[in-house]
Structure 1
C-alpha cells in the first residue's frame, strides 16, 4: 500500500495542559474566503487562544496569474468580521522583520534551495539537483515510457545522476534549469495525524523526484509551505484533508533541511445537503455572502466549529469564550460534515435572541439604513428596532421587513380580510376606538416622539384599561388592531415609537396622527 490509515480511539484520557501552539492560516488569495477556509482558520485560531499561543496569517500567493491583492484584502476583512484576529502576519509589527506573503519571500526560497543542493544525503549525493529538462522533453519521456510499459507515474529525470562536468557545462552555457528534490530510495514518510491517525507513504513509489524551483525561478507550492512552516516556527498544521498528500513532499523537505515536522491535523470535507462537496450551487458559501444575508459573527463561529467537532455533550449554542474553553482539535471527526442552512439559521436566531440590545443595534444599523428606514446608523430608531425585533428574527435583514410593516397601517383592509379582526366588531371595537381618540385628544396618550414613550405607553395601557373597564384579551388584542392595523406583530409601544421617529426623520410612514384620524372616522361610521 502507498498510504495507510488506522482508526483512532474514540476516547482519550484527559490531556495535560497544552504547550502554547503556533498555528497558521495560509489562504491563496484567488477568490473569497469560503466556509471550508473559515472553519480551518477558526480551528487554528481557537487552539492558539486555548493554549496562549500565536495565530499566524500567511498569504500563499505564488500563483501570480490568479492571486490578487483585492482578494487578500477581502479575506482579511472576512477574518476580522469573524473576530479571528492574527498575532503575526500582514499589518502586524512582525511584518517589519520579514514578509508574510510568499510572493515577497523569493530570496528565502532561493537560499533554501541552494542549501539543499549543497547538502549531501545518506546516499552520498546532493539532496537536490539541477534538472535541465524542458517541459516538452519531460512530456516526451513520459510518453515513451508509457509506450514501453515502463512508466509508473513518476518522471525520472535524466539529470538525476548526471556528472558534475555535464551540469557545469550546461550552466556555463547559460541554460535555465529547475531544481528537483532527490527522493531517497526506499524512503518512507510517516505521521500520526491528530484527526486521521497514523498515515504513511512510500515516497519513491508515490512521487519520485519533484520540483522545488521551476526553471523560471518561481518556487513550487510545497517547497514554499515547508520552508515557511519551518522558519515561522509552526508547531501544528491544521488544514483540510485535501492537503494530506502534500504532507509527503513537505515532510521530505523539512527533514532534509534539518527541521522538525509540525504535528498535523487534516480535517474532513464539508458537503452540501445533497452529499456533494459544498459549492456555490448550494447557495451562499463565502463569509461575505453570509454577512450580507444577516448572519452574525458569533453565530457563524458557533456553527462552523460544529462542522466536524463536538464536545461530547448535547450543548449546541456557545459563546466564543465557551468555545475557546471547550474546543480541542483531537475531538475533530474524520467523517465529512454536512452544511445545513436551516441549522445555521436556528443558531443565528439563538444568538440574536440572547444578544444585548445595544450590540444588536450596532449590527442592525447598516441593514436599516440600506433599506431606507432611518437616516443614519446612530438614529434612535435603531435601538428601538433592536429591542422590538430581537425575538422575532433569524437574520438581521428580517428586522427591516418588520420595521417596514410597522410603518404601514390599513385598519379597514384588515377588518375586511381578517375574520378574527372582524369578530372584534362584535365587542364594541368602535367604542374602544372612540375612547382611544378621546384620550389622545385630551393629551392623556403618551408622546411617541419622546425617548421614554415605550415605558410610558405600557403604563398608560394599564390605566386606560381600568378607566374603560377592559383588561386582558378584551383590551390588548383590539388595542393592538386599532393602533397597528393588524392582529399580530411585535410590541405595539415599540411600533408606535419607530413610527414617530420615522416621521421626525422624514421617512414615509403612516403617522400616529393619521392613525388617530382613521380611528375617529371609524368610530363615527
Structure 2
C-alpha cells in the first residue's frame, strides 16, 4: 500500500488514541488532541480529511465524558471510527462531450445522482472528459449539461474539465517517473507498428515490448536534453494480479503483465491519455464509488495500477450492463430516439424518464412500476442492480409517460402542451388551452400527441366513419336510428340541447342533464344512447368526452380557428339520416 494510505492509517491511529482518551480528558476536545498530536509533515497533509470525517463521530448534545458517551466501549469506538473513515458518498458522472446525452449515459448519471442523494452529505460531481481534442466540442458539452438539468440531475461540484487540468496530470507523471513507476519512451510510430505486426504474426498479444523500460538512464537523459519526441509509459509490475470486488459483477481479476504492455500516460504532444486522467481525477476528487457502463470494465485494470502507484486507495467500482434494443442488439439510432434531447422534443416528461431509466437494470424486488423520484432515491441500491443486459422498450416508456401525465394538475400540464399546440398552428388562449388540456390528458402517451387529439376533436369525419364496419354495424342494425337522429336535430334546433360553450365547467353538467332527458324521450340508455349520440355529434366512434369536444369547438370558434361548427354538423346529420332538406341559415 502507498505512503498516502499508510499516513492515513497513522492519522486514524492517532484519532483512536484521542477518542479513547476522551473519557479521561473530559472537556478537552478530541479534535484539539488530534491537532496537537500530529507533528509529522507527511501526517499533517493527511490530517484535514480525517478530521473532517472524525467530526461525524461526535453526537450532538452528548458530553464526551458523560454517562451516555458513545465511546464508553472500545468496540463501539472502533465501529464509529471505521464508519467515519469511510466518509460520505462521492460519486461522479464523467461524459465525453462528443455528442448528445444518450439513454445509457443518462442512466449512469441517474444511478450516481441517486446514490449521492441518499445521504445528507453525499456529493454528485460532474466532470467533463474532453481530452479527445479532435472530437470534443463545447456545443456538445452544453447540450449534455442542459439535458442533465432537464432531467433534474443537478450536480453538486463541477463541471470540471480535463482539458483545463493539464498541469495536474504532468505533475502526476513526474511523480510516477520519480518513484520508478513510469519512464520516457522514444519509440517511433514506425517501430511500434513493426513490433505490433511481428507479435501478431507470432500469434502473440500485440503489446508494447518494453524497449525503453530499463534503458541506461544516461541514454535517456541525453535524448531528453536533445529534445527528441517521446511519450511517457507506465511500468506494469511483473507478476501483479489486480482484483476488484465489483458491486454489480462480483469478483473480477486481471493478470496485469499478461494482459497489458507498458501503456502510455502522456502522449508526445503533451496530452494525457484518457485512463491516466480518469485515475488521477478520481483520486484527487475523492470519488468513493465509480458507477459506469460495462464497456469501461477493461479500463479498470490500468486505472487501479495507476492509483496504487500514486499511493491512492482505488474507489469501489460498479459496472452497469449494456442497454439493448428489442432486437437484442446494442441500442443505437436505428432503434429510434436514443438521446435525451429527442425524448424531450417528442414530449416525454423528465419524471417519466427518471422512472423508466431507473428500471433499466434495477428492481427493488416488487411488481411496482411507477415511482416518484423521492421514492426511487429511498429504495435504490447497487445491490439490486442486475448484471444481465437491459432491454429498452419504447412502448413501456410511453406507458410510464402516460401515467406521469395523468398525475399532473391542469396548471402543471397546460404550459407543457402549449408549445406543441402553437407549433401546430392551434389556439393557445386560456379558454382553449384549458379545455384542450383536460381533453388530451387522459389520451396522451407523449405531449406531442396533444395537437392530433385536438385537431381530431375539431374535425367532423362523419362520412368517412359511416363507411367503417364498426359504424355500419351500429346504424344499420338499429331500425330507429333515423328517428333518433331526427330527435337530436330537433333538440339542437329548438335549443333543448344546450349550445356549446367554452365554459366547460358549466357546459359539461348541462350537456349531461340534456343527454339524460334525451334518453328518456327516445327510450334509450347506456350504449344504445351514448354510442349513436357520439357518432352523430363528433363524427367518430370513439374519442374524448363529447361535451369536451363540443366545448373545444366553441372555444376554437371564438379564436377564429378552423372548426366544423355545430350548425354544419346538424345539416350533415339531417341530410344523411332524416331525408329532410337542411334548413337555410
Q: TM-score, normalised by structure 2?
A: 0.78
Aligned partner of 1:481 in structure 2 is: 535
Cα distance change on mapping 1:143 and 1:485 into 2, 3 Å: closer
Structure 1 residues 457-480: Cα deviation after superposition (integer angstroms, max 9, x where no partner): 445435754884666335433433
| Structure possessing the higher radius of gyration over alpha carbons | 2
Cα distance change on mapping 1:425 and 1:328 into 2, 3 Å: same
Aligned partner of 2:438 in structure 1 is: 387
User: 1:140, CA displacement in angstroms?
Assistant: 2.3
Of 160, 171, 177, the match for 2:230: 177
Aligned partner of 1:431 in structure 2 is: 486
Question: Are the equivalent residues in 2 in contact too, given 1:270–1:278 (CA < 8 A)?
Answer: yes
Q: Please give the secondary structure, in 2, of the residue aligned with 1:20.
A: coil
Question: Counterparts of 2:384 and 2:267 in 1: how far apart (Å)?
Answer: 40
Say whether residues 1:88 and 2:157 are aligned partners: yes
Cα distance change on mapping 1:459 and 1:282 into 2, 3 Å: closer
Within a 5 Å distance, the mapping from 1:364-383 to structure 2 comes to 364-374=417-427, 376=428, 379-383=430-434
Question: Are the equivalent residues in 1 in contact too, given 2:485–2:536 (CA < 8 A)?
Answer: no
Q: Please give the secondary structure, in 2, of the residue aligned with 1:452.
A: helix
Of 447, 453, 463, the match for 1:402: 453
Within a 5 Å distance, the mapping from 1:279-428 to structure 2 comes to 279-374=332-427, 376=428, 379-415=430-466, 418-419=471-472, 420-421=474-475, 426-427=480-481, 428=483
Within a 5 Å distance, the mapping from 1:106-505 to structure 2 comes to 106-118=166-178, 120=179, 126-145=180-199, 149=202, 152-374=205-427, 376=428, 379-415=430-466, 418-419=471-472, 420-421=474-475, 426-427=480-481, 428-440=483-495, 445-446=498-499, 448-450=501-503, 452-458=505-511, 460-461=513-514, 464-465=517-518, 468=521, 472-473=525-526, 475-505=529-559
Aligned partner of 1:24 in structure 2 is: 92
Q: Please give the secondary structure, in 2, of the residue aligned with 1:180.
A: strand
Say whether residues 1:36 and 2:104 are aligned partners: yes
Question: Are the equivalent residues in 2 in contact too, given 1:273–1:340 (CA < 8 A)?
Answer: yes
User: 1:211, CA displacement in angstroms?
Assistant: 0.7
Question: Counterparts of 1:341 and 1:447 in 2: how far apart (Å)?
Answer: 39
Cα distance change on mapping 1:452 and 1:236 into 2, 3 Å: same
Question: Are the equivalent residues in 2 in contact too, given 1:437–1:519 (CA < 8 A)?
Answer: no
Question: Are the equivalent residues in 2 in contact too, given 1:384–1:494 (CA < 8 A)?
Answer: yes
Structure 1 residues 227-276: Cα deviation after superposition (integer angstroms, max 9, x where no partner): 11111111111011110111111111111222221110001111222222
Q: Please give the secondary structure, in 1, of the residue aligned with 2:422.
A: helix
Cα distance change on mapping 1:270 and 1:145 into 2, 3 Å: closer
Question: Are the equivalent residues in 1 in contact too, given 2:92–2:112 (CA < 8 A)?
Answer: yes
Question: Counterparts of 1:520 and 1:136 in 2: how far apart (Å)?
Answer: 88
Question: Counterparts of 1:504 and 1:77 in 2: how far apart (Å)?
Answer: 38
Question: Are the equivalent residues in 2 in contact too, given 1:240–1:266 (CA < 8 A)?
Answer: yes
Question: Are the equivalent residues in 2 in contact too, given 1:414–1:421 (CA < 8 A)?
Answer: no
Question: Are the equivalent residues in 2 in contact too, given 1:480–1:488 (CA < 8 A)?
Answer: yes
Question: Counterparts of 2:424 and 2:523 in 1: how far apart (Å)?
Answer: 39
Question: Are the equivalent residues in 2 in contact too, given 1:453–1:497 (CA < 8 A)?
Answer: no
Q: Please give the secondary structure, in 2, of the residue aligned with 1:508.
A: coil
Question: Counterparts of 1:69 and 1:113 in 2: how far apart (Å)?
Answer: 27
Question: Counterparts of 1:338 and 1:386 in 2: how far apart (Å)?
Answer: 33
Cα distance change on mapping 1:300 and 1:72 into 2, 3 Å: same
User: 1:516, CA displacement in angstroms?
Assistant: 4.6
Structure 1 residues 59-88: Cα deviation after superposition (integer angstroms, max 9, x where no partner): 111111111122112222222222222222
Question: Counterparts of 1:302 and 1:236 in 2: how far apart (Å)?
Answer: 23
Please identify, of 107-116 and 214-223, the stretch whose mean Cα deviation from structure 2 is larger.
107-116
* Larger RCO, structure (CA 8 Å, separation 6 or more): 1
Q: TM-score, normalised by structure 1?
A: 0.86
Question: Counterparts of 2:539 and 2:204 in 1: how far apart (Å)?
Answer: 80
Cα distance change on mapping 1:433 and 1:203 into 2, 3 Å: same
Aligned partner of 2:129 in structure 1 is: 60
Question: Counterparts of 2:352 and 2:555 in 1: how far apart (Å)?
Answer: 30
Structure 1 residues 285-339: Cα deviation after superposition (integer angstroms, max 9, x where no partner): 2222222333222222222111111101111221212111111111111111122
Question: Are the equivalent residues in 2 in contact too, given 1:433–1:520 (CA < 8 A)?
Answer: no
User: 1:152, CA displacement in angstroms?
Assistant: 3.9
User: 1:425, CA displacement in angstroms?
Assistant: 6.7
Cα distance change on mapping 1:142 and 1:475 into 2, 3 Å: closer
- 5+ residue gaps, structure 1: 1-15, 91-99, 121-125
Structure 1 residues 329-369: Cα deviation after superposition (integer angstroms, max 9, x where no partner): 11111111122222222222222333333323233222222
Question: Counterparts of 1:430 and 1:469 in 2: how far apart (Å)?
Answer: 10
Cα distance change on mapping 1:61 and 1:494 into 2, 3 Å: same
- 5+ residue gaps, structure 2: 1-82
Q: Please give the secondary structure, in 2, of the residue aligned with 1:233.
A: coil
Cα distance change on mapping 1:415 and 1:185 into 2, 3 Å: closer
Q: Please give the secondary structure, in 1, of the residue aligned with 2:360.
A: coil
Cα distance change on mapping 1:177 and 1:462 into 2, 3 Å: same
Question: Counterparts of 2:454 and 2:364 in 1: how far apart (Å)?
Answer: 39
Question: Counterparts of 2:216 and 2:260 in 1: how far apart (Å)?
Answer: 24
Q: Please give the secondary structure, in 2, of the residue aligned with 1:42.
A: helix
Please identify, of 395-404 and 460-469, the stretch whose mean Cα deviation from structure 2 is larger.
460-469
Of 31, 43, 48, the match for 2:116: 48
